[in-house]
Structure 1
Amino acid sequence: MTPAEIAVLVALHRDRTLTAPQIQQSAALTSWRTRNALSHLESRGLITPSRPRGRYRITPRGRVALTTKSRRFA
């Protein structure tokens, strides 16, 4: 898992439903890194799109991954 993916999961970890620009700002990433991280995380089932359209939520599997993987980046 990349540092950008960890940053996206951290931005979403408190039951937040955010848009890509909100995630980008919260995670302090470029738009390209944000979109890339969102795509990879969604393909692995760690985040999910939610309603209203264009928003993302962390999944239970994403929470486990964040807990496990974030220790490496602390």
Structure 2
Amino acid sequence: MTPAEVAVLTALSPDRTLTAAQVQLAATLTTWRTRNALAHLESRGLIVPSHPRGRWQITPRGRAALTSKASRFR
């Protein structure tokens, strides 16, 4: 997991539902890094799109991954 992916999971944790722009601000990433991290995290089932459209939410699997991986990036 990349530092950008950890930052995105942290921004969405514990149960926040944010737009890509809100994730970008919370994670202090560029637009490209945010969208790339969102795509990779979604492909691995760690985040899911939420309603209303255009928002993202962390999954239980994503919370578990964050718990086990985040300590490497602190």
TM-score by length of 1: 0.99
Q: CA deviation at 1:14?
A: 2.2
Equivalent residue for 2:15?
15
Q: CA deviation at 1:32?
A: 0.0
Paired residues in the alignment total 74
Q: CA offsets, 1:2-28, max 9 Å, x none?
A: 000000000000210000000000000
CA RMSD of aligned residues (A): 0.4
Equivalent residue for 1:4?
4
Q: Is the 8 A contact 2:48 2:57 kept in 1?
A: yes
Give the unaligned 5+ runs of structure 1: none
Please state if 1:29 is matched with 2:29. Answer: yes
Partner of 1:8, secondary structure, is helix
Q: CA deviation at 1:63?
A: 0.2
Partner of 2:21, secondary structure, is helix
In structure 1, C-alpha distance between the alignment counterparts of 2:18 and 2:36, rounded to whole Å = 16
Give the unaligned 5+ runs of structure 2: none
Q: Is the 8 A contact 2:14 2:63 kept in 1?
A: no
In structure 1, C-alpha distance between the alignment counterparts of 2:66 and 2:15, rounded to whole Å = 13
Aligned residue identity for 2:29: L
Give aligned-pair identity as a percent: 73
